[in-house]
């Protein structure tokens, strides 16, 4: 593995082959992809990095918007001289991936939008806005317990207390201003991305777990249906953190899609 710091972005690169860039979710860091890096590095150059305001990357302020995270990816692509690559975005990373792909389709080989949100209903918007309001009023730590309960199954949490403590520590370690800025973007940016990939001409996959209450199967199906060459995969028993909780199932879908022959 090669570790780099490029323009304030903490980057890790493993393996050789066609590049695949993986974007993590809000409040997390690139370590969520450990299972995918292990599975993919034998056939791909796997690139992960900490989003702005997360992990070891530079912090952001309250004025940050989706364009800042898209610009971070754009700069990284330039720094690494990536002419074409596959892009995998998880949750908030999926919003970044949608926005980047809409602007730079020529750079994308294959696009995977994993456990991300699309065109929230009013009830779904109200729910995420309520969580944002609590985090603003009481601090981000006030929403950690509920987040972990949504993200992981009770069975996994009971069987893997060390993993649960790891993710609780990651969430507790976030810079407050950066987290609130990123969470606000996560809570609102899907409005501006409705239909953004309606003319996207690359192979695309929207995937989620059938038990994901925030990034629902209905969202994944709607997102895949909006993209001309979009496919959809719903993983049985999957909750939000299925890359961590169900790596074998996720990796099987990723390998099949990323290696599939084009038309």
The pair of structure tokens assigned to 23 is 């974007």
Helix axes of 92-103 and 176-188: crossing angle, nearest 10 degrees: 60
What pLDDT score was predicted for residue 25?
A: 98
Give the C-alpha separation, 251 to 38, whole Å: 10
Is residue 102 a contact partner of residue 192, using CB atoms and an 8 Å limit? no
Is residue 262 a contact partner of residue 245, using CB atoms and an 8 Å limit? no
Is residue 230 a contact partner of residue 223, using CB atoms and an 8 Å limit? yes
Neighbours of 226 (CB within 10 A): 18
What pLDDT score was predicted for residue 236?
A: 98
Residue linked to tokens 């909750």: 239
> E strands of 43-118, at which residues?
44-49, 85-90, 108-114
Interval 204-229: pLDDT, tens: 999 999 999 999 999 999 999 999 99
Q: Taken in order 143, 67, 231, 125, is the CA torsion positive or negative?
A: positive
What pLDDT score was predicted for residue 208?
A: 98
Q: Find the mean pLDDT for residues 107-121.
A: 97
Residue positions counted in the chain: 263
Mean pLDDT of the chain: 97
Interval 77-95: pLDDT, tens: 999 999 999 999 999 999 9
Count Cβ atoms within 10 A of the Cβ of residue 58 and give its class: 0-12 exposed, 13-18 middle, 19 or more buried: middle
Which residues neighbour 164 within 8 Å (Cβ) at sequence distance 6 or greater?
A: 148, 152, 157
CATH classification (class only), 2-259: alpha beta
What pLDDT score was predicted for residue 130?
A: 98
What pLDDT score was predicted for residue 225?
A: 98
Percent of the chain with pLDDT over 70: 98
Phi, psi at 59, each rounded to 5° = -75, 170
pTM of the entire structure? 0.97
What pLDDT score was predicted for residue 261?
A: 60
Q: Find the mean pLDDT for residues 20-24.
A: 98
What pLDDT score was predicted for residue 262?
A: 54
pLDDT band at 191, cuts 50/70/90? very high
- How is the chain split into domains, by residue range? 2-259
């Amino acid at each position: 593995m090669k570790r780099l710091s490029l323009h304030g972005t903490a980057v890790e690169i493993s393996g050789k082959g066609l590049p695949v860039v993986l974007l993590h979710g809000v409040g997390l860091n690139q370590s969520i992809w450990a299972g995918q890096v292990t599975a993919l590095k034998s056939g791909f150059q796997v690139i992960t990095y900490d989003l702005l305001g997360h992990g070891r990357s530079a912090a952001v302020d309250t004025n940050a918007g989706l364009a800042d995270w898209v610009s971070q990816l754009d700069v990284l692509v330039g720094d690494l001289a990536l002419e074409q690559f596959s892009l995998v975005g998880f949750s908030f990373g999926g919003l970044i991936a949608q926005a980047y792909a809409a602007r730079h389709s020529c750079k994308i080989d294959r696009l995977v939008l994993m456990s991300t949100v699309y065109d929230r209903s009013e009830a779904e918007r109200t729910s995420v806005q309520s969580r944002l309001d609590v985090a603003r009023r009481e601090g981000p730590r006030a929403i950690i317990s509920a987040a972990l309960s949504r993200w992981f199954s009770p069975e996994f949490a009971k069987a893997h207390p060390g993993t649960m403590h790891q993710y609780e520590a990651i969430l507790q370690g976030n810079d407050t201003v950066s987290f609130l800025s990123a969470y606000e973007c996560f809570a609102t940016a899907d409005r501006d991305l409705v239909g953004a990939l309606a003319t996207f001409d690359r192979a695309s996959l929207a995937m989620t777990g059938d038990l994901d209450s925030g990034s629902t199967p209905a969202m994944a199906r709607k997102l895949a249906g909006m993209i001309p060459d979009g496919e959809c995969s719903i993983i049985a028993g999957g909750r939000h953190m299925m890359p961590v909780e169900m790596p074998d199932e996720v990796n099987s879908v990723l390998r099949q899609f990323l290696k599939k022959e084009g038309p």
